[in-house]
């Protein structure tokens, strides 16, 4: 690379970014045809994917969680498995199990649904912690161990989990340590009037899911993920990020501040967001845009025992911490 003129690389980069941006726009448009009026959430979910993190979608039943997750995986065009979490789900149902093969006279490992590029863990908080942790271990390590053999999971490995808010009956809330492994948690919320009317008047948009084409392939995704890492993060922005972290750790409003993993997640997510905005550098607005999705589920208020005050805390962070020194 050393003999190429200095500018040509920049030109290549920007051309590649333009291509990626087109693909991203296509993906957003495709998903939006099914999930109506949720452009921001869709973009956040994609940013999460581009940043190489896992996504947690949390909302009340019937808000379109599963639809969003299914649409995303269809658009991505990767191998897709879905696990419905129930209270009697066992780790083997996720990872797979060794079965005796009568013909060969040996045990053979039957891979479970976790061996897919996109795994939809539906209603993750309905399963017992034992089953939850089987998946969450795979999420962090990107490999599973069964019968003493460690097997890598396919790449990319992207988990989209959905859950009902923890205070619903019959759920096992994910502990903080496991929540921390999701790069983002997004809420869908009720659709606006226009989108809802469109849905009610027309056909069920879910029918479109099967008809959607994959917009992106593996090399394209890997290129995008590589571009995310190259998005420039300036000293000023790192200063701002550190002020945010410092505030969350020092202020008495917080029970626990943001972890270093949370800090890394914030940085990567804002890089992905900057890419989606078509910029090759991160500005504070990017950080603030992804802050609620990345930070809310990691924060807990000082006098908050139900764990439901993360929303106001993230807002406090964004409002109280000075962007410039």
Partner 1 sequence: MTGVVAYQIPRNAMTWLLVAMFAGIIPHVDRLPIWVTLVCLLCGGWRIMVYRGRWALPGGWLRALLVFSGGAAVWGHYGTLMGPEAGSALLLLGFCFKLMETHTRRDAFVVVILGYFVVATAFFFRLEIVDTLYLLLVCFLVTAALLGLHQSPLQTAPRRTAWLAARLMLQSVPLTLVLFLLVPRIGPIWALEQPSASARTGLSDEMTPGDIARLSQSPALAFRVEFEGAVPATDQLYWRALVLDQFDGRTWRRHPQQLHPDWVVWPGNPNPWRSSQQALGQATAYRVIMEPTDKRWLFALDLARSDQRGIGQTRDFRLVNRVPVSQPFSYRVESALNHRLDPELPYWLARRNLQLPEDGNPRSRELALQLRQRSGDAEELVSNALALFRQQPFSYTLKPPLLSGDRVDQFLFDSRRGFCAHYAGALVFLLRAAGQPARVVTGYQGGEFNPLGNYVLVHQFDAHAWVEVWLPGKGWQRVDPTAVVAPSRVAEGLEQAVAGEGSFLADSGFSPLQYRQWAWVSQLRLGWDYLNFAWHRSVLGYDADSQRRWLSSWLGGVDWRRLGVALVVAIAAVLGVLALWVLWRNGATTRDPVLKEYQRLCADGERRGVARQPGEAPGRYLQRLGETFPGQARQYQQCARLLDDHLYRAEPTPGAVKRLRRLRRSLA
If the CB atoms of residues 150 and 324 are measured against partner 1, the closer one turns out to be 324
Q: Does position 203 bind partner 1 by CB under 8 A?
A: no
- Binding letters toward partner 1, positions 52-71, x by CB under 8 A: --------------------
Q: Does position 190 bind partner 1 by CB under 8 A?
A: no
If the CB atoms of residues 139 and 287 are measured against partner 1, the closer one turns out to be 287
Q: Does position 158 bind partner 1 by CB under 8 A?
A: no
Distance CA 255, CA 247 (A): 12
If the CB atoms of residues 25 and 250 are measured against partner 1, the closer one turns out to be 250
CA angle 59, 154, 49 (to 5 degrees): 40
If the CB atoms of residues 32 and 277 are measured against partner 1, the closer one turns out to be 277
| Displacement of CA 97 from its chain's centroid (Å) | 27
Among 255, 264, 308, 311, which residue sits at the site for partner 1 (rule: CB under 8 A)?
255
Handedness of CA 178, 180, 184, 190 (dihedral sign): positive
Integer CA distances (angstroms), 41 to 101, 241, 244, 323, in order: 46, 23, 23, 24
SS3 170: coil
CA angle 313, 324, 49 (to 5 degrees): 55
Contact 163, 119 (CB under 8 A): no
Closest CA to 180 of 49, 299, 58: 299
Q: What is the closest distance, in whole angstroms, from the C-beta atom of residue 215 to partner 1 in the complex?
A: 29
Torsion of CA 236, 237, 239, 241, to 10 degrees: 170
Q: Does position 319 bind partner 1 by CB under 8 A?
A: yes
Torsion of CA 79, 139, 21, 223, to 10 degrees: -80
If the CB atoms of residues 97 and 318 are measured against partner 1, the closer one turns out to be 318
Among 197, 249, 278, 306, which residue sits at the site for partner 1 (rule: CB under 8 A)?
249
Q: Does position 281 bind partner 1 by CB under 8 A?
A: yes
Q: What is the closest distance, in whole angstroms, from the C-beta atom of residue 50 to partner 1 in the complex?
A: 19
Q: What is the closest distance, in whole angstroms, from the C-beta atom of residue 230 to partner 1 in the complex?
A: 10
Question: Using CB under 8 A, which of the segments 114-122, 187-195, 204-212, 229-237 binds partner 1?
Answer: 229-237
SS3 121: strand
Which positions touch partner 1 (CB under 8 A)? Answer: 232, 234, 236-237, 249-252, 254-257, 280-285, 288, 302, 318-325
């Amino acid at each position: 690379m050393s003999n190429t003129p200095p500018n040509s690389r920049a030109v290549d980069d920007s051309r590649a970014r333009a291509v990626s941006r087109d693909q991203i726009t296509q993906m957003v448009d495709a998903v939006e045809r099914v999930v109506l009026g949720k452009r921001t959430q869709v973009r956040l979910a994609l940013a999460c994917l581009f940043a190489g993190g896992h996504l947690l979608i949390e909302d009340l039943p019937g808000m379109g969680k599963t639809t969003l997750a299914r649409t995303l995986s269809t658009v991505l065009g990767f191998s897709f498995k879905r696990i419905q979490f129930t209270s009697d789900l066992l780790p083997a149902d996720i990872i797979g199990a060794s079965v005796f093969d009568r013909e060969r006279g040996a045990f053979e490992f039957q891979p479970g649904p976790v061996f897919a590029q996109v795994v939809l863990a539906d209603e993750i908080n309905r399963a017992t912690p034992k089953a939850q942790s089987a998946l969450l271990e795979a999420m962090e390590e990107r490999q599973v161990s069964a019968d003493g053999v460690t097997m890598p999971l396919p790449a990319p490995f992207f988990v989209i989990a959905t859950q009902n808010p923890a205070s619903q009956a019959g759920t096992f809330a994910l502990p903080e340590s496991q929540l921390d492994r999701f790069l983002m948690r997004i809420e869908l919320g009720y659709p606006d009037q226009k989108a809802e009317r469109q849905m009610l008047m027309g056909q069920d948009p879910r029918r479109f899911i099967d008809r959607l084409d994959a917009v992106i392939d593996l090399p394209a995704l890997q290129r995008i993920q590589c571009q995310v890492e190259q998005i420039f993060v300036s000293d000023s922005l790192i200063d701002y990020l550190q002020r945010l972290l410092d505030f969350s750790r020092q202020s008495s409003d917080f029970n626990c501040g943001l972890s270093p993993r949370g800090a890394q997640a914030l940085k990567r997510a804002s890089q992905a967001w900057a890419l989606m905005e078509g910029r090759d550098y991160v500005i504070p607005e990017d950080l603030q845009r992804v802050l609620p999705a990345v930070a809310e589920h990691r924060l807990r208020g000082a006098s908050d025992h139900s764990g439901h005050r993360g929303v106001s805390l993230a807002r406090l962070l964004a409002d109280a911490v000075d962007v410039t020194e």
